[in-house]
C-alpha cells in the first residue's frame, strides 16, 4: 500500500506535492492545514486521514477535525497527532507507527519496532528547513519510508 504523508501546508498545497502524491492509496495530513480546499484537493487523490494543528485551532472550517486519530494501515496500528509532545508516554504497545508534524523538521526514526515519522513541512519554507513530504510503502510485515524534497 502506497501512503502519502504531508504536514504543515499552512494554506499552500504545492503542485510538486500533488504530483508526488499521485498513485497513493491513502493520504495522511498531520495538521496545520491552513485552508479547507487543501483537504478537498487531497481527498480527490485518495482517502484522507487528517488531524488539526495548532494553527487550525479556532478556524470554523476545522472545528470538526480531530486532534488525535488512531487507525490501521495494512496491519500497522497508527497514531496521528500534530505535535510529538502530544504522543502519550504510555503509548499502546500495538501502536507501530507514530506520525507527527509541527516541527517542520523531517524525521524518520525507528525506536525498536516502532516507526516515528515527521514528513516535514510541505508549505511555505520556514527558516532554512527543507520543504518535504513522505511516502510510505506499507506491507503487512514492514514499512519502507522515504522523504521527498519538493524544492531543489
**Mind listing the pLDDT tens digit for each residue in 22-55?**
999 999 999 999 999 999 999 999 999 999 999 9
Q: What is the pLDDT of residue 135?
A: 98
Closest CA to 117 of 139, 137, 140, 97: 97
pTM of the entire predicted model: 0.96
DSSP state of 35: -
3-state class (DSSP) for residue 49: strand
Q: Give me 76's grid cell.
A: 500497522
Q: Quick one: which of 144, 149, 151, 152 has its CA closest to 108?
A: 144
pLDDT tens for 81-125 read 999 999 998 998 999 999 999 999 999 999 999 999 999 999 988
Q: Sorting pLDDT into bands at 50, 70 and 90, what band is 127?
A: confident
Structural domains in the chain, CATH included, are 2-149 (3.60.21.10)
| 10: number of Cβ within 10 Å | 20
Q: What is the pLDDT of residue 38?
A: 98
**Distance between CA atoms of residues 61 and 134, nearest Å:** 26
Which residues in the chain belong to E strands, given as ranges?
Answer: 2-6, 26-29, 48-50, 68-73, 76-81, 95-99, 107-111, 114-118, 132-138, 143-149
pLDDT given at position 39: 98
Average pLDDT on 63-83 reads: 97
Confidence of residue 126 (pLDDT cuts 50, 70, 90): confident
Amino acid at each position: 500500500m502506497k501512503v502519502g504523508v504531508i504536514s504543515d501546508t499552512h494554506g499552500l498545497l504545492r503542485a510538486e506535492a500533488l504530483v508526488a502524491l499521485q498513485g497513493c492509496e491513502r493520504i495522511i495530513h498531520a495538521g496545520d492545514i491552513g485552508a479547507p480546499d487543501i483537504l478537498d484537493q487531497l481527498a480527490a487523490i485518495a482517502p484522507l486521514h487528517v488531524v488539526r494543528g495548532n494553527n487550525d485551532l479556532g478556524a470554523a472550517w476545522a472545528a470538526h477535525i480531530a486532534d488525535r486519530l488512531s487507525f490501521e494501515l495494512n496491519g500497522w496500528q497508527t497514531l496521528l497527532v500534530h505535535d510529538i509532545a502530544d504522543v502519550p508516554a504510555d503509548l499502546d504497545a500495538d501502536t507501530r507507527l507514530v506520525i507527527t508534524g509541527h516541527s517542520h523538521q523531517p524525521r524518520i526514526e525507528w525506536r525498536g519496532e516502532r516507526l516515528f515519522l515527521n514528513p516535514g513541512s510541505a508549505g511555505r519554507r520556514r527558516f532554512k528547513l527543507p520543504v518535504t513530504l513522505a511516502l510510505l510503502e506499507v506491507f503487512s510485515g514492514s514499512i519502507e519510508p522515504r522523504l521527498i524534497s519538493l524544492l531543489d
